[in-house]
Copies of this chain bind each other. A is one copy, B any other.
Amino acid sequence: MFVDKVQTEGLAHFSYVVGDGTTAAVIDPRRDCAVYIDVARKRGAQITHILETHSNEDFVSGAVNLAEATGAKIYHGPAPDAAHYAETTREGDTFMLGKLTLKVLETPGHTDDSLSFAIYDRSFGKEAIGVFTGDALFIGAVGRTDFYPDRAPQVAGLLYDSLSKLITLGDQTIIFPAHGAGSICGDNMADRDFSTIGFERRNNPMLKIESREEFVRHKLEEHHYQPPYFRLMEKLNKTGMEEAPELRPPPLTIDEFLKAREDATLVDVRNTSAFLGAHIPDSLSMPVDTVAGFAGWLLEPEQSVILIADDEQQASLTAQHLARIGYDNVVGYLGTSLPAWAAAGQDFKSITTLDVEEVERDWREKHERQLLDVRSIDELAEGSIPGAQHIYVGELPQRLDELDPHQKYTVLCASGVRSTIAASVMARAGFSDVAVFMGSMGAWQQAHHKTA
């Protein structure tokens, strides 16, 4: 009897292969789903069931593709939109895999169709030994409940009830959530890989809240960002999406690149330093490990994309990240380094970096540059620089009109990565003088003897 976790970097998404003997189920598969077949095979099992804890909004589901590849059946909670590809399953339904039983618990709140699946070992006792909690219960946190703004208090209350139901499974129950620290599907998750109902009951701040009312009040005060691509995911996960394309963008010669760029967005996935040092004019900075987090904010799904990458591996990894959130239009990547690009007579740009002394001098004395803080609103609570304007990097494309293209800006975030992304957005929009505060709030707080 096994539970194998498949982790999707960037999205901090956890899917699972659970099984016993020769049969297995997959919980919440992602789009590139060959990995599940691999995992099951290593366990000597075949995938017979695909279970979704809810309609995911932050990635493209692989349920339909996996079902086609394996012949397994898909089960989903009560949601009209899922009915055409999945059988509806409800409270109390059970699935048998060898001596393992999965039992359905309806646990709405995060979404109306949210399910949990409790794990029983029929050869050992009657208590649950584990539970897949989807986006209802995380380690150290609980799911967000802001997807139905018109009935926010109601769904927050539903989540409270669902969590109460999960607690009744007993302290001995190991929890297997759908996300870990770093996901935008919940706040303040613990950076720990394992927990139990018993441990969460005593230590999860949201489970320690005693009254339903207080729980709801607390939920209503939370702030969450919703990247525009969430809408796309909702749509795609209703209609189903075809299998991911070949995730190996071809290298482009400079001539091919020049031709292809006319219809494409340029996305530079090299690291932040490299973008600052030299980049192709009008390209967006989006280091490869930020792609899962920011492509959904900064790119249009239907738009063709050309990558500027260090090598094929980095380009492929980017294409994989993009495909997982439904962006399939990567045309290729520039098969040439920036020095070679420049040596071929092509234009390049750099971005000025400022260190903490330079930023502070301007802030105290010269007042030539407007500080722009692009961190998320939650991070402001950890400290900020007086006078800095705040726009979250993800919202920047929609809110550029709040800024003045002729003003000189110094962009900051926590370190310099997101401020470089923001600076690239602004440079592309024609801002004439945008510098990056390298080190950003980290350096600022070090310089002012405060801990970040």
Contacts and interface: CB of A to CB of B under 8 A. Distances in A.
A355 B337 CA distance: 16
Nearest to A202: B125
Nearest to A70: B250
Given A129-B192, A192-B124, A442 B174 contact: no
A203 B127 contact: yes
A326 interface: no
Contact of A439 (B22, B272, B339, B420): B339
A253 B98 CA distance: 14
A39 to B, nearest CB: 13
A199 B127 contact: yes
Given A129-B192, A277-B272, A347 B355 contact: yes
Nearest to A418: B339
A353 B253 CA distance: 24
A22 B194 CA distance: 18
Given A124-B192, A337-B272, A345 B439 contact: yes
Interface in A342-384: 342-348, 350-353, 355-356
A338 interface: yes
Interface string A196-215: 11110111000000000000
A9 to B, nearest CB: 12
Contacts of A94: none
Given A198-B171, A310-B271, A1 B415 contact: no
Nearest to A351: B277
A440 interface: yes
A179 interface: no
Contacts of A270: 271, 273-274
A172 B190 contact: no
Contacts of A350: 276-277, 352-353
A417 B121 contact: no
A417 B171 CA distance: 43
A241 interface: no
A189 B127 CA distance: 18
A130 B250 CA distance: 29
Contacts of A346: 439
A22 to B, nearest CB: 6
A5 to B, nearest CB: 11
B342 A190 contact: no
A438 B253 contact: no
A199 B1 contact: no
A8 interface: no
A183 interface: no
Contact of A170 (B171, B173, B191, B338): B171
B250 A442 contact: no
B439 A342 contact: yes
Contacts of A337: 271-273, 417
Contacts of A253: 22
Interface string A244-266: 00000011010000000000000
Interface string A413-444: 01111001000000000000000001111110
A153 to B, nearest CB: 28
A447 interface: yes
A220 interface: no
Nearest to A419: B339
A384 B22 CA distance: 28
A350 B272 CA distance: 13
A124 B351 CA distance: 42
A452 interface: yes
15 contacts: A3-B194, A22-B253, A125-B203, A127-B202, A129-B199, A130-B194, A171-B198, A172-B197, A196-B198, A278-B353, A339-B440, A340-B442, A343-B415, A348-B353, A348-B439
- Nearest 10 Cβ contacts at the A-B interface: A343-B442, A172-B198, A345-B446, A277-B277, A342-B439, A276-B277, A339-B416, A125-B203, A343-B415, A1-B192
Given A125-B202, A198-B198, A276-B278, 17 more contacts: A1-B190, A41-B251, A172-B202, A174-B194, A196-B198, A272-B278, A273-B273, A276-B277, A277-B353, A337-B417, A339-B415, A339-B420, A342-B355, A343-B439, A343-B446, A343-B452, A345-B446
